[in-house]
């Protein structure tokens, strides 16, 4: 079985730049609106890409303009 050991996310929804070390059990805890669901959507996009359905998945998620990080608040 293939697994992810390391994931780098850049410019996706609320993730300006994030690196995550994946373990056999990875737990996400956080307040509303911090990106837990967006993190899970990344795996859905990866699966769609592997199945040749990336464009339809992007459309399902509202298109590229809804997915990319356009503003940055420091």
H-only helix segments in the chain: 36-50, 54-60, 64-67
Q: Residue 40's pLDDT is what?
A: 92
Residue 73, in any domain of the structure: no
Residue 74 located in a structural domain: no
What does pTM read for this prediction?
Answer: 0.76
pLDDT at 66: 86
Question: What is d(CA 20, CA 39) in angstroms, rounded to the nearest whole number?
Answer: 10
Q: What are the tens digits of pLDDT across the range 9-43?
A: 999 988 889 999 988 898 999 999 888 999 999 99
The answer to whether position 17 is within a domain reads yes
Q: How many CA atoms lie within 13 A of 31 on its CB side?
A: 2
**pLDDT at residue 74 tops 60:** no
Full residue range of the structural domain in which residue 26 is found:
6-67
Residue 11 inside a domain? The answer is: yes
Residue 2 near residue 22, CB atoms below 8 Å: no
Q: Please give the angle made by the CA atoms of 34, 5 and 39, to the nearest 5 degrees.
A: 20
């Amino acid at each position: 079985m293939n697994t992810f050991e390391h994931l780098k996310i850049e410019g996706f929804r609320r993730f300006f730049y994030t690196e995550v070390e994946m373990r056999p059990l990875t737990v996400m805890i956080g307040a509303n609106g911090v990106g837990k669901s967006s993190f899970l959507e990344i795996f859905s996009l990866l699966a769609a890409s592997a199945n040749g359905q990336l464009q339809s998945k992007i459309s399902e998620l509202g298109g590229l303009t809804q997915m990319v990080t356009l503003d940055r608040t420091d």
